[in-house]
A and B are shown apart, each in its own frame.
Chain A
Amino acid sequence: MRISFMNLVKTAAVVLLSYTVVAGLLMPVPRLEILNETIRNLYFHVPMWFSQIVIFSVALYHSLRYLMAQGNSKISLKEKQKIDLAAYSAVTVGMLFGVLGLLTGMMWANFTWGAPWSSDVKLNCTAIGMLMYLAYFVLRASFTDEEKQSRFAAIYNVFCYVLFVVLIFVIPRMKEFSVHPGNGGNPAFAKYDLDSYMRMVFYPAVIGWICLSIWIWDILRKYREVLLFRSLQD
């Protein structure tokens, strides 16, 4: 078997996520008030957001590539469409992981903070970030010309990513109060109670989920390529 980057990613996703599910549910965790056993959600909720930002970065990379290639007549139309589909699929997968992150977070919050949705800076900022990326799909849908659709989607994606980073990493740290660790003066996980057992699961879980998101992205991208080029042949 040829060892390619994607094969490594797939193997890592299978191995690390099987480990995460088994070890995440069976390994010892610190006994803490309020959190109790729900602390195991750390292996599922937090990696969703890591994967989302990684996959949005993939989308940014492909959008930038599209904008570079767009004026270049040496690159074929088919190649450009492939780059655009890569960016589009990455945004779709990013949204999927965002929804999963919100759902796991709401479940966790329901048991620890008493309600699925509290008016926390970080919650509100992520919700707004998701709305920004939803607008990406609306923008795409409103163009009929394919070349213009790809170009303007790429432009908006670059704009959106920069503001998304400001929204997620800068604004929550400016506010005085937040219930999330590492924000609003709360200590981050490193200082918190992430003991050595939890680290042994948490770091593999993060890498595993990121690999899974890349895997899903790869399949979606190829699926959309097949759909597009088959419809062109007919």
Chain B
Amino acid sequence: MNWRNAFVLAQKESRSEWRQRSIFGALLLYAVLTVFLIYFSFRHVEPILWSGLLWLALLFGSVDALSKGFLQEGRDRHFYYYTLIGPIEFLTAKLMYNILLMVVLGFFTLLLFILFLGFPVVDIGAFACILLGGMVCFTILFTFMSVLAARSGKSTTLVSILTLPIAIPLLAIIISATQKTMIAHSFGEYSNDLLFLSALNILLLALAVILFKYTWQD
């Protein structure tokens, strides 16, 4: 494992993203459209609904943002990477870049939500922890599953089919934790949820790291 290689690759990813700004712009526009759609369908959103809608918007945003990465690259690019670096370095680079992308996208969606639908959260610190933990969870899951889908050479629907069943229970836990940040003032109320979320992140990361090397050869 060479951290420098991984870092260089992650840098290259973000640079090429920056050069084709239209794709990144499309993702931001997608976020704006989703929030607008919610705004026009509900107008006024109750706090209970707010957290659910926020996470649904984030979930569908991340399906779009993360599944395109591997599907675009194709087989030839994969062979090129294969000659350059090891599987773990590749995964680390992709995860670093995807987490950065998701944090930017998530923050942007949240800003839009605050702008159009208000901000019912009381405990901002805990909310930030849950948001970050949830986003990292989604990123690891989607990155790994999109590798599986990409190697089959089939359409993006496969990514959704593979990830959504696993995302449903995660979403349920994250949403109920988010709802608690709207009423509670003490950390003890959601320490359990936070603990579970971090344990799950570690589990997902461990599984991805252990299993990724088997996807490496074509």
Q: How close is B138's CB to chain A, nearest CB, in angstroms? A: 14
Which residues of B approach A to under 8 Å, CB–CB? Answer: 144, 148-149, 151-152, 154, 158, 161-162, 164-166, 168-169, 173, 192, 196, 200, 203, 207, 211, 214-215, 218
Establish whether residues B166 and A158, one from each chain, have CB atoms under 8 Å apart when the complex forms: no
In the assembled complex, the Cα of A135 lies from the Cα of B203 at a distance in Å of 20
A215 at the interface (CB under 8 A from B): no
A162 in contact with B207 given A135-B162, A135-B165, A152-B215 (CB within 8 Å): yes
Give the dominant DSSP class at B's interface.
helix
Give the dominant DSSP class at A's interface.
helix
Chosen A-B contacts, 24 in total, with CB atoms closer than 8 Å, are: A67-B211, A134-B165, A135-B162, A139-B148, A139-B152, A142-B152, A142-B158, A143-B152, A148-B151, A148-B152, A151-B215, A152-B151, A155-B148, A155-B214, A155-B215, A156-B148, A156-B162, A159-B144, A159-B207, A162-B207, A171-B169, A171-B173, A174-B173, A174-B192
A179 at the interface (CB under 8 A from B): no
A131 at the interface (CB under 8 A from B): yes
Residues of B within 8 A of A70 (CB): 214
Contact partner, B148, options A152, A162, A167, A174, Cβ 8 Å: A152
In the assembled complex, the Cα of A198 lies from the Cα of B149 at a distance in Å of 48
Establish whether residues A139 and B162, one from each chain, have CB atoms under 8 Å apart when the complex forms: yes
Chain A 128-173 residues near chain B, CB threshold 8 A: 128-129, 131-132, 134-135, 138-139, 142-143, 148, 151-152, 154-156, 158-159, 162-163, 166-167, 170-171
